[in-house]
């Protein structure tokens, strides 16, 4: 059947003799070229890292012997599939996937695809519904870069730059000088300008947003001491 076959249909009795009869009762049948899109619940995903998330994908199953196949992209783990009946007696295929939200999911497009199989074994064009994950997380992968990076003469200017991934963005950068077990705050902001010194060569930065904080590893400036005569 094709969309061009949309029409009113009735039953006709047509025997090999004079008995021929058209029954008055008719039924209207309409056909669509594409199957209906699946539904995602919730329709938007905005949570903190570490939150347990359950997404439900549902798609009509007009033919019980050939329910749609539901697949998730990307693979979020094991899913639970069920065939349910609504109050109006229509059938719906559902798939529920549960996972723990992390920074790796932030910005990802999560989609559910419904694939309908025809009775002759061929596959209809798959249809899908998607959402973009918005995961808030504390600063991660905090690092410090040193410019210039090679050995620098004592007393020369050095710039330390702190970078980190976070959602929402980093609000505060704090710089610390490490002297053995003692740590001293020496500046704020994403960049720190200092004079190279043997006594002023080990630093790390701390990054903060409303979710939490992160810190870099200890960075050592390679300082060349001046020759003393």
What is residue 149's predicted lDDT score, i.e. its pLDDT? 81
3-state secondary structure 78-114: CEEEEEEECCCCCEEEEEEEEEECCHHHCCCEEEEEE
Taking only the tens place, the pLDDT of each residue in 162-217 is: 999 999 999 999 999 988 778 999 999 999 999 988 777 789 999 999 999 999 99
End-to-end CA distance of the chain: 98
Assessment of whether the complete model's pTM goes beyond 0.95: no
Peptide bond into 62 cis (omega under 30): no
Low-confidence ranges of the chain (pLDDT < 70): 1, 33, 125, 226-229
Domains of the chain with bracketed CATH: 39-137 (2.60.40.10), 138-224 (2.60.40.10)
Confidence at residue 1, expressed as pLDDT on a 0 to 100 scale: 67
Whether the bond into 68 is cis, omega within 30 of 0: no
Confidence at residue 116, expressed as pLDDT on a 0 to 100 scale: 87
**Residue 125 has what pLDDT?**
67
What's the CA gap between 93 and 56, in Å, rounded?
Answer: 10
pLDDT number for residue 5:
80
């Amino acid at each position: 059947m094709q969309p061009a076959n949309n029409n009113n249909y009735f039953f006709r009795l047509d025997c090999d003799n004079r008995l021929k009869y058209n029954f008055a009762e008719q039924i209207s049948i309409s056909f669509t070229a594409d199957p209906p899109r699946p539904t995602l619940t919730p329709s938007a995903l905005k949570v903190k890292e570490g939150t347990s998330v359950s997404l439900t994908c549902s798609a009509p199953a007009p033919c019980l012997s050939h329910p749609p196949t539901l697949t998730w992209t990307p693979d979020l783990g094991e899913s639970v599939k069920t065939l349910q009946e609504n109050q109006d007696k229509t059938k719906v295929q559902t798939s529920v996937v549960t996972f723990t939200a992390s920074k790796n999911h932030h910005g990802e497009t999560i989609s559910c695809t419904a694939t309908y199989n025809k009775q002759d074994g061929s596959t209809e064009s798959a249809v899908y519904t998607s959402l973009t994950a918005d995961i808030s997380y504390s600063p991660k992968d905090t690092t410090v870069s040193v410019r210039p990076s090679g050995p620098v003469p004592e007393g020369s200017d050095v710039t330390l730059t702190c970078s980190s991934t976070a959602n929402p963005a980093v609000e505060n950068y704090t710089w610390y000088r490490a002297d053995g077990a003692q740590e001293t705050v020496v500046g704020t902001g994403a960049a720190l300008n200092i004079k190279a010194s043997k006594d002023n060569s080990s630093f790390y930065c701390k990054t903060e947003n409303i979710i939490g904080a992160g810190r870099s590893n200890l960075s050592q400036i390679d300082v060349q001491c001046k020759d003393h005569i």
